[in-house]
């Protein structure tokens, strides 16, 4: 079959970064006792009240085609949420409901890029970013956020990359997966300055916006002159432990959204009405519910800080947000890949090699804080002891 | 915002064909009593047993990320279904679960087309076809299936279009929306011959495969030498009255599917596990359930044939399949657009102008057989009387 170049080059060749994860899963299938700290998914399930709301909606008739832009009540609620939390006036005309944050990200890149156009993204990066750019025929170019700068991108690096590449768009993600960095106002101002200087559209993935442990979440869309050049990607997945429901949204200038709607008609023809009703109910549970969902990660972050106090083998930049820890294990002289493999084989603990998220995270491993407190704390202590044994 | 040419040209300019539908909906909102024969959606809701199965799955924990290719049990069931019904050996490696048939269609075009590549589709056509081709940067070229040939495409027309355009792919849809045509073996052999001659990938939209009133559904994938150049689009929407659930599948050569999977990772990151479990349960209800879902359309087709017997103003090519009727109203001298508008204003009946589905359906209107039998029969009689008054 004579497939398109676009689809056959989506991964960009090479490993997709999931080798260790797959190895661990195979070991589990073979009966090995493995502690998995790999996946960005809560150790709790979706709240039963949300599931019951979904069921009531389905029984009530929300099983036919839903309006492709999303149901009005959910669009309104998302609009109000963004207006309240970011201070940017936002209406239903700015909001389209998508089949999860990933679908919003895909739509945003399609909105910005024609085939052959370049988009910048920041490394370390979430696994799907370069592939999503390639999926619309775009060319991804990475900009390094240095470990020794707290994984924050700089004006100089972004400006140089934009000038050299002629990029059309720049993807940012704060709070950040995998690093836990939360971009402060200075960093966001620098990004905004680059965007204006080079006429870039900024795609801002803010799916971890309810998981901030230090500082505050600032949406780049709220910075002066940015509303007209920003798409914001949001999702119910991380904030409401609804990863599997695939409900998210794209927010952008009202002039752009009718075009994005045309795309959504042709990609998914809308999102199930009953899952949209579930999302609407979940948002109605308010901020206290979102804090409850986020609390375990904040708690485990402190457990890890305590467990790693007084040792020198691992350097932990305490994450400012999101559900991950980045451990700097460069003192061992090992790559993240080698370290993760040795840790898995010697101690039965699976972590993600930093290299899975790009060269900027080399010599690091990512820990997902997604297992209960006691085994989590034990695993961190085990990792510390293992690392010390290597140095 | 400097949007991509791709996203701003998805509709191809001009009307999207939904003007009459929107006018009718506005009249309903204003309190007018309108009979709607416009939409391809059952007048029943999704069966309660299916909804209960979805609920049990959600409560049972199917709320986390599902495997992106789809859950194994559903892929297996779809594979067996196709193998049994078409005779083509099919395994899970040939099947990927998608967020509805539309998502499968989008994925298939992305698999076939790079930007600037041409895809053929047959007019009259379902509304999203050309836009879906444009959404991946492709160029749609239509091939006419003449009304006076029962809306069946011919070897000559397809061969000429393929030769002239250098197309990479050809989209077909049997049973057909909007015409109700079911392609017989001769027509499918002609299409297969053109595909082989011009090295085309065939994308076969078979979402109406359970709604065949005359003849039988034949999948082009079952014709000699076609398995390796065919993608089949399937869906739960029409066969199981699950339009809003957004569960479908793409079936193709096992060598192609890993590439398609890479795309699905970047478009939707999978389909909700609980809706997949609902689909699995629904498929388990067997053929008798599918016949039950299809029965009203078969029944109403006969009602329409009887109601239109003995008049000459409307010519009805009795559809061989799907949930629509095409009425040839050329004897009135009116376009389908004008006829539909007059019918709406004079008799309060909304139908789709044939022109909404492409020039090949000019002078026709499409009736969706999606209201209960008694008002449906009355509406057909009313349309006949109205048409007679114009001739």
pLDDT at B67 over 80: yes
CB A262 within 8 A of CB B11: yes
Cα separation, B201 vs B111, whole angstroms? 10
Cα separation, A282 vs A289, whole angstroms? 8
> A12 falls in which pLDDT band (50, 70, 90)?
confident
A99 and A186 part of one domain:
yes
In this predicted structure, what is the pLDDT of residue A53? 98
In this predicted structure, what is the pLDDT of residue B32? 96
Do B259 and A54 lie within an 8 Å CB cutoff?
no
Do A135 and B253 lie within an 8 Å CB cutoff?
no
Kindly state whether residue B1 falls inside one of the protein's structural domains. Answer: no
Closest partner CB to B106 (pick from A134, A241, A267): A267
A112 Cα to chain B: minimum distance (Å): 5
Mean pLDDT of A17-22: 86
Q: pLDDT tens digits, residue range B323-332? A: 999 999 999 9
Cβ neighbours of A115 in B, within 8 Å:
6, 114-116, 137
Query: Which of B192, B226, B255 lies closest to B86, judged by CA?
Result: B226
Size of interface A-B (CB pairs under 8 A): 229
pLDDT at B14 over 90: no
B152 and B229 part of one domain:
yes
Cβ neighbours of A241 in B, within 8 Å:
63
Whole-model pTM: value is: 0.97
A96 Cα to chain B: minimum distance (Å): 15
Tell which of A2, A3, A263 to mutate to test the B interface (max B CBs under 10 Å): A3
Tokens of A142: 């990475």
Task: Count up the domains in chain A and report the number.
Answer: 2
Q: pLDDT tens digits, residue range B136-173? A: 999 999 999 999 999 999 999 999 999 999 999 999 99
pLDDT at A15 over 80: no
Query: Which of B188, B222, B174 lies closest to B321, judged by CA?
Result: B174
Radius of gyration over every alpha carbon of chain A, rounded to an integer in angstroms: 21
Strand B349-350 vs strand B324-328: parallel, antiparallel, or unpaired?
unpaired
Boundary (domain end) residue, out of B250, B284, B318: B284
Q: pLDDT tens digits, residue range A135-174? A: 999 999 999 999 999 999 999 999 999 999 999 999 999 9
B161 and B80 part of one domain:
yes
> A373 falls in which pLDDT band (50, 70, 90)?
very high
pLDDT at B391 over 90: no
Do A59 and B48 lie within an 8 Å CB cutoff?
yes
Q: pLDDT tens digits, residue range A79-117? A: 999 999 999 999 999 999 999 999 999 999 999 999 999
Closest partner CB to B131 (pick from A1, A241, A265): A265
Boundary (domain end) residue, out of B243, B263, B284: B284
Please provide the average confidence, as pLDDT, over all residues in chain B.
Answer: 96
Cβ neighbours of A4 in B, within 8 Å:
110-114, 117, 168
In this predicted structure, what is the pLDDT of residue A283? 98
A270 and A323 part of one domain:
no
Closest partner CB to A99 (pick from B110, B241, B268): B268
**Across chain B, how many H-helices and E-strands are there?**
13, 13
Q: For residue A11, which phi and psi values (nearest 5 degrees)? A: -80, -10
In this predicted structure, what is the pLDDT of residue A102? 98
Q: pLDDT tens digits, residue range A169-198? A: 999 999 999 999 999 999 999 999 999 999
Complex ipTM tops 0.85: yes
B54 and B141 part of one domain:
yes
In this predicted structure, what is the pLDDT of residue A317? 80
Q: Which residue of B has its CA nearest to A258?
A: B8
Cis-peptide, bond into residue B178, ω within 30° of zero: yes
> A35 falls in which pLDDT band (50, 70, 90)?
very high
Cα separation, A281 vs A277, whole angstroms? 6
For A119: left if phi > 0, alpha if psi spans -120 to 50, otherwise beta; the answer is: beta
B297 and B328 part of one domain:
yes
CATH number at residue A362: 3.90.1150.10
CB A268 within 8 A of CB B235: no
Q: Which residue of A has its CA nearest to B128?
A: A266
Closest partner CB to A243 (pick from B5, B65, B255): B65
Q: Which residue of B has its CA nearest to A11?
A: B262
Do B260 and A7 lie within an 8 Å CB cutoff?
yes
A23 and A60 part of one domain:
no
pLDDT at B16 over 80: no
pLDDT at A39 over 90: no
Closest partner CB to A64 (pick from B62, B244, B267): B244
Boundary (domain end) residue, out of A236, A253, A286: A286
Do B266 and A228 lie within an 8 Å CB cutoff?
no
Do B112 and A4 lie within an 8 Å CB cutoff?
yes
Cβ neighbours of A103 in B, within 8 Å:
267-269
Query: Which of A85, A181, A95, A98 lies closest to A132, judged by CA?
Result: A98
Query: Which of A180, A58, A157, A253 lies closest to B52, judged by CA?
Result: A58
Do A7 and B266 lie within an 8 Å CB cutoff?
no
Tell which of A256, A268, A277 to mutate to test the B interface (max B CBs under 10 Å): A268
Q: pLDDT tens digits, residue range A309-337? A: 999 899 998 889 999 999 999 999 999 99
Kindly state whether residue B8 falls inside one of the protein's structural domains. Answer: no
pLDDT at A16 over 80: no
Mean pLDDT of A113-128: 96
Closest partner CB to B246 (pick from A134, A201, A271): A271
A257 and A294 part of one domain:
no
> B93 falls in which pLDDT band (50, 70, 90)?
very high
> A18 falls in which pLDDT band (50, 70, 90)?
confident
A104 Cα to chain B: minimum distance (Å): 8
B323 and B377 part of one domain:
yes
Do A135 and B11 lie within an 8 Å CB cutoff?
no
In this predicted structure, what is the pLDDT of residue B317? 80
Q: pLDDT tens digits, residue range B30-59? A: 999 999 999 888 999 999 999 999 999 999
Closest partner CB to B269 (pick from A100, A134, A168): A100
pLDDT at B18 over 90: no
A339 and A213 part of one domain:
no
Closest partner CB to B62 (pick from A65, A229, A244): A244
CB A242 within 8 A of CB A44: no
pLDDT at A27 over 80: yes
Do B10 and A114 lie within an 8 Å CB cutoff?
no
Cα separation, B86 vs B218, whole angstroms? 7
B310 Cα to chain A: minimum distance (Å): 37
Tokens of B29: 């909102």
A154 and A182 part of one domain:
yes
Cis-peptide, bond into residue B378, ω within 30° of zero: no
In this predicted structure, what is the pLDDT of residue B180? 95
Cβ neighbours of B46 in A, within 8 Å:
58, 63
Q: Which residue of B has its CA nearest to A261?
A: B7
B161 and B246 part of one domain:
yes
Please provide the average confidence, as pLDDT, over all residues in chain A.
Answer: 96
B211 Cα to chain A: minimum distance (Å): 19
A116 Cα to chain B: minimum distance (Å): 9
CATH number at residue A175: 3.40.640.10
Closest partner CB to B228 (pick from A1, A62, A267): A1
Which residues span the domain enclosing A89? 48-286
pLDDT at A14 over 80: no
Block residue for tokens 């400012």: A320
Cβ neighbours of A62 in B, within 8 Å:
244
> ∠ at Cα B241 (B235, B242), nearest 5°?
60
Cis-peptide, bond into residue B124, ω within 30° of zero: yes
Q: pLDDT tens digits, residue range B201-254? A: 999 999 999 999 999 999 999 999 999 999 999 999 999 999 999 999 999 999
In this predicted structure, what is the pLDDT of residue A391? 85
Mean pLDDT of A293-322: 94
pLDDT at A13 over 90: no
In this predicted structure, what is the pLDDT of residue A86? 94
> B24 falls in which pLDDT band (50, 70, 90)?
very high
Q: Which of B10-24, B93-107, B209-223, B244-258 has the lowest mean pLDDT?
A: B10-24
Q: pLDDT tens digits, residue range A263-281? A: 999 999 999 999 999 999 9
In this predicted structure, what is the pLDDT of residue B39? 86
Q: pLDDT tens digits, residue range B290-331? A: 999 999 999 999 999 999 999 989 999 888 999 999 999 999
């Amino acid at each position: 079959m004579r497939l398109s170049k676009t689809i056959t080059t989506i991964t960009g060749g090479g490993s997709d970064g999931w080798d260790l994860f797959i190895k661990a899963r195979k070991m589990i299938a073979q009966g090995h006792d493995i502690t998995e700290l790999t996946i960005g998914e809560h150790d709790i399930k979706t709240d039963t009240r949300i599931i019951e709301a979904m069921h009531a909606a389905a029984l009530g008739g929300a099983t036919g085609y839903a309006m492709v832009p999303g149901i009005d009540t959910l669009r309104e609620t998302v609009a109000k949420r963004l207006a309240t939390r970011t201070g940017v006036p936002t209406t239903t005309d700015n909001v389209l409901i998508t089949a999860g944050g990933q679908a919003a990200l895909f739509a945003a890149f399609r909105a910005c890029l024609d085939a052959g156009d370049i988009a910048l993204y920041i490394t370390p990066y979430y696994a799907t970013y370069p592939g999503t750019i390639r999926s619309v025929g775009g060319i991804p170019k990475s900009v390094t956020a240095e470990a020794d700068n707290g994984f924050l991108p700089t004006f100089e690096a972004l400006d140089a990359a934009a000038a050299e590449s002629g990029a059309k768009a720049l993807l940012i993600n704060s709070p950040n997966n995998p690093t836990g960095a939360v971009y402060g106002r200075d960093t966001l101002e620098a990004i905004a300055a680059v965007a204006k200087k080079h006429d870039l559209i900024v795609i801002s993935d803010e799916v971890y916006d309810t998981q901030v442990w230090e500082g505050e979440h600032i949406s780049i869309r709220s910075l002066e002159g940015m509303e007209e050049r920003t798409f914001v990607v949001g999702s119910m997945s991380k904030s409401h432990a609804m990863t599997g429901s695939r409900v998210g949204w794209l927010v952008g200038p009202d002039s752009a959204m009718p075009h994005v709607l045309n795309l959504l008609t042709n990609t998914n023809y809308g999102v199930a009405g009953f899952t949209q009703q579930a999302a609407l109910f979940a948002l109605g549970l308010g901020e206290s519910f979102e804090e409850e969902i986020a609390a375990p990660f904040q708690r485990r972050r402190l457990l890890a800080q305590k467990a790693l106090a007084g040792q020198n083998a691992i350097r932990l930049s305490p994450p400012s947000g999101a559900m991950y820890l980045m451990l700097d294990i460069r003192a061992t002289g090992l790559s993240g890949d080698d370290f993760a493999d040795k840790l898995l084989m010697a101690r039965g603990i699976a972590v993600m090699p930093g290299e899975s998220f790009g060269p900027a995270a080399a010599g690091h491993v990512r820990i997902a804080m997604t297992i209960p407190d006691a085994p989590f704390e034990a695993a961190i202590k085990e990792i510390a002891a293992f690392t010390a044994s290597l140095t």
